[in-house]
Amino acid sequence: MIFVVCQAIIWGYLKGTLRPVIRQSPQGQGSAEAEANAATVNLARAGDQEALRRLYEQHHRRIYNLIYRMMRKREDAIDLTAETFLRAFQNLKHLKTDEAFGGWLRKVAVNLCLDQIKRRTPLTTSLEKMASAEEGTGRPVEPADTLRGPEEKLIARELGEQVHEALAMLSPDHRAVILLHHMDGKEVKEIAAIMDCSEGTVKSRLARARENLRQLLDKYLKS
């Protein structure tokens, strides 16, 4: 039964028949919010449909953006986002602490991405082809910028595209740590738990990924 409920909620949002409500938490309510989230997870564990919907509303955008940046294709992002939540909801009984749901969800998402990438033939796509692949409606939604003029916005957009292209050229493990740390705001300890590796390994991957990104972006800035 829980599988059918989860499937209806997830595909309703992804196909646009349901619209998520993005809520902003007032500053200073972190502890209360964590307790509320834990209570929601506990209800979802028992199969409460409204609790499952709230969890999806709270987390789907970050998970979709993370997966999109890992996979670079809208279709993959939609499919793997759905699979991430289905697996997470079906296996809530294995979650040790309700407060850890967000990190656990990211772990499911990253592992699905890495498994998918490993099953595919390595790509040798040029920067130009990757740039053209970005065109479309499936890209992550970026916050609006009302403080820059038209020329500054154009430069910022072009640089942002180059960053995404450079990210796509990193190894999957390096791409994952960069996205989790710099775009999802996770600390080294949290990333280590998500990726099932030591904190030292995370630090090493971050250092190498940053250096690779620097070299790739240097080529663009000098061109």
pLDDT confidence band for 186 (50 / 70 / 90): very high
For residue 136, what are the domain limits? 124-223
Q: What is the pLDDT of residues 67-92, one digit of tens each?
A: 999 998 899 999 999 999 999 999 98
pLDDT confidence band for 171 (50 / 70 / 90): very high
For the domain that residue 103 is a member of, what is the CATH number?
1.10.1740.10
Question: What does pLDDT average to over the chain?
Answer: 76
Cα torsion at 21, 103, 106, 177 (round to 10°)? 120
Boundary of a domain, candidates 94, 120, 146: 120
**Is pLDDT larger for residue 116 or for residue 142?**
116
Residue 135 phi, psi (nearest 5):
-70, 140
Amino acid 14: pLDDT: 43
**Is pLDDT larger for residue 3 or for residue 78?**
78
* CA 42 – CA 48 distance, rounded (Å): 9
Q: How many domains does the chain have?
A: 2
Amino acid 96: pLDDT: 78
Task: Tell whether 99 and 196 lie within a shared domain.
Answer: no
pLDDT confidence band for 197 (50 / 70 / 90): very high
Task: Tell whether 36 and 137 lie within a shared domain.
Answer: no
195, 188 Cβ separation under 8 angstroms? no
Q: Which residues contact 189 (CB under 8 A, 6 or more apart)?
A: 199
For residues 124-135, give the mean pLDDT: 39
Of the candidates 140, 127, 131, 10, the residue with the CA atom closest to the CA atom of residue 70: 140
Amino acid 149: pLDDT: 61
* CA 212 – CA 190 distance, rounded (Å): 23
pLDDT confidence band for 157 (50 / 70 / 90): low
Task: Tell whether 38 and 103 lie within a shared domain.
Answer: yes
Task: Tell whether 55 and 95 lie within a shared domain.
Answer: yes
DSSP assignment, residue 100?
A: G
Amino acid found at 135: E
pLDDT confidence band for 146 (50 / 70 / 90): very low
Amino acid 223: pLDDT: 61
Boundary of a domain, candidates 120, 143, 165: 120
* CA 117 – CA 36 distance, rounded (Å): 35
Amino acid 184: pLDDT: 87
Q: What is the pLDDT of residues 24-60, one digit of tens each?
A: 444 444 456 667 778 889 899 888 999 999 999 999 9
Q: What is the pLDDT of residues 200-210, one digit of tens each?
A: 999 999 999 99
